[in-house]
Amino acid sequence: MDNIKKKIGIYSPYLNIFGGGERYILSIAELLAKDNYVYLFEEYKLKQKVRDYFDISLDKVNFVSNGLFLTKNIINKYISLKKMDYFFYMTDGSLFFSPAKKNYLIIQSPSHIPPLTKLNRIKLVNWDCICYSQFMKDIILKKLKKKAIILPPPVATNKFISKLSKKKNIILTVGRFFRHLHDKKQQFLLDVFIDNHKTLFKNWKLVIAGGLTENKESSYVEDLKIKSKGCPVSILVNPKFEDLVSIYSESKIYWHATGYGEDIDRYPERAEHFGITTLEAMSGECVPVVISMGGQKELVTEGINGYLWSTKNDLVSKTSLLINNPELLKDLSPLARKRALDFSYDVFYGKLKKIIEN
């Protein structure tokens, strides 16, 4: 970008959820606000919560009421967006005409891809699509007949400083608690651990951490707590970012199972479309043992910086391999972090600026 500050608008209808997508678009806001005028269409009260939960600073971001997008006042929306040099929109599957000079449509997952109607074909002409992974790029091309730009989410690698000497016998999994659409399969992972904690995983602990953003899923968390009673299992609900950093740095092995038991060819939205928590774990030198589906396959190289699995037996055997070979675990830990550095904020910002400049 030239030295002239640009006006950049950003909007997501999901900023009350606080998941990976929200971290992504708020990171874009934080970084672009360094050298530009960034306008986030959201209530100001969100600012402190974002700092507490994501450790993202929005001090240089201008907050504008999101009412423009919650009403059908098309004229006011048009006037506001026409002032923007760039506009980033994280779609919920909807699409609209934007008069900004340049428009970027962020598509998180297959379930967020707008239907290819005749009207949407016309609307899409004015949008460049952005996605997290090759997994998503292929699906977008198939469904929208449009090439997307891959911009993987960033990881605050500088905040995940780990010392192997302080590592504990902890298997960690992180993900939001909910059972529909994008189930993180905590129930499955808990069952695997309970079945093996007295034998193959003896003297190890399982930590399940994640956000609880929907009250209706409280019963799911309670079910997990009841089932884990009497076992070396901790369940952390809505941990602050600093607490997550601490548990990542203490853990030795990271589990991820999103998509397990699902027909991904038919329902690709049930796979992990990227895997930000896997990279966060790797940043903390936590060795990943993750399902070989979706975006996970793009992050982990088998036997080099972690392991991929397809079946329950595969998950158990590869976890046991690490548990029974401390030296192997020690060797893979720094290699896991090395891979995560490919997704640092500096790398992300460089790619983001290149997208805008082009």
**Tens-digit pLDDT profile for residues 288-332:** 999 999 999 999 999 999 999 999 999 999 999 999 999 999 999
Q: Which of 280, 278, 282, 325 is nearest to 305 (CA)?
A: 282
Cα distance between residue 293 and residue 124, in whole Å:
29
| 144 found inside a domain | yes
pLDDT category of residue 53 using cuts at 50, 70 and 90: confident
pLDDT category of residue 71 using cuts at 50, 70 and 90: confident
What CATH number is associated with residue 219? Answer: 3.40.50.2000
Residue holding tokens 């550095």? Answer: 341
pLDDT > 90 fraction of the chain, expressed in percent and rounded: 82
247 and 333 assigned to the same domain: yes
Per residue in 181-225, pLDDT (tens digit) is: 678 999 999 999 999 999 999 999 999 999 887 777 789 999 999
pLDDT, mean of residues 126-132:
97
* pLDDT for position 258: 95
Structure tokens at 269: 């939205």
pLDDT category of residue 52 using cuts at 50, 70 and 90: confident
Q: Which of 289, 293, 300 is nearest to 322 (CA)?
A: 289
Per residue in 85-103, pLDDT (tens digit) is: 999 999 999 999 999 999 9
| 354 found inside a domain | no
Among the ranges given (64-68, 278-282, 336-340), the one the predictor scored with the smallest mean pLDDT:
64-68
More confident residue, 131 or 55: 131
- Quick one: CA torsion of 290, 285, 240, 106, rounded to 10 degrees? -60
Share the mean pLDDT of the chain.
93
Structure tokens at 199: 């034998």
pLDDT > 70 fraction of the chain, expressed in percent and rounded: 98
Residues 6+ positions from 271 with CB-CB distance below 8 Å: 135, 258, 259, 262, 264, 293, 294, 295
pLDDT, mean of residues 31-48:
95
| 231 found inside a domain | yes
| 106 found inside a domain | yes
Cα distance between residue 299 and residue 137, in whole Å:
15
Which residue range forms the structural domain that includes residue 93? 7-151
Residue holding tokens 């967020």? Answer: 112
Tell me if 145 sits within 8 A of 122, measured CB to CB.
no
pLDDT category of residue 2 using cuts at 50, 70 and 90: low
146 and 278 assigned to the same domain: no
190 and 325 assigned to the same domain: yes
177 and 33 assigned to the same domain: no
Domain count of the chain?
A: 2
Does the structure show a pLDDT above 90 at 59? Answer: yes
Does the structure show a pLDDT above 70 at 274? Answer: yes
Bridge partner list, 131: 150
What CATH number is associated with residue 114? Answer: 3.40.50
Q: Which of 159, 158, 152 is nearest to 352 (CA)?
A: 152
190 and 52 assigned to the same domain: no
Cα distance between residue 111 and residue 125, in whole Å:
21
Burial (CB < 10 A; 0-12, 13-18, 19+), residue 286, is: buried
If residue 305 lies in a helix (H) or strand (E), which one and from where to where?
Answer: none
* pLDDT for position 236: 96
pTM value? 0.88
Cα distance between residue 211 and residue 236, in whole Å:
8
| 352 found inside a domain | no
More confident residue, 165 or 171: 171
Q: How big, in percent rounded to 5, are the helix, strand and coil portions of the chain?
A: 45, 15, 40
pLDDT, mean of residues 147-173:
90
* pLDDT for position 214: 72
pLDDT category of residue 241 using cuts at 50, 70 and 90: confident
109 and 196 assigned to the same domain: no
Cα distance between residue 56 and residue 59, in whole Å:
9
C-alpha distances (whole Å) from 160 to each of 28, 194, 241, 279, 337 are 20, 29, 11, 11, 9
pLDDT, mean of residues 137-162:
93
Cα distance between residue 222 and residue 226, in whole Å:
6
136 and 251 assigned to the same domain: no
* pLDDT for position 358: 79
Cα distance between residue 281 and residue 255, in whole Å:
9
Tell me if 150 sits within 8 A of 131, measured CB to CB.
yes
Structure tokens at 111: 């379930």
201 and 95 assigned to the same domain: no
142 and 161 assigned to the same domain: no
273 and 195 assigned to the same domain: yes
126 and 188 assigned to the same domain: no
Does the structure show a pLDDT above 60 at 1? Answer: no
* pLDDT for position 29: 98
Cα distance between residue 192 and residue 302, in whole Å:
21
| 180 found inside a domain | yes
Residues 6+ positions from 249 with CB-CB distance below 8 Å: 160, 161, 162, 163, 166, 167, 284, 285
Residue holding tokens 């609880």? Answer: 212
DSSP β-ladder status, 307-309 and 287-291 = parallel
| 355 found inside a domain | no
24 and 115 assigned to the same domain: yes
Does the structure show a pLDDT above 90 at 18? Answer: no
* pLDDT for position 181: 65
| 117 found inside a domain | yes
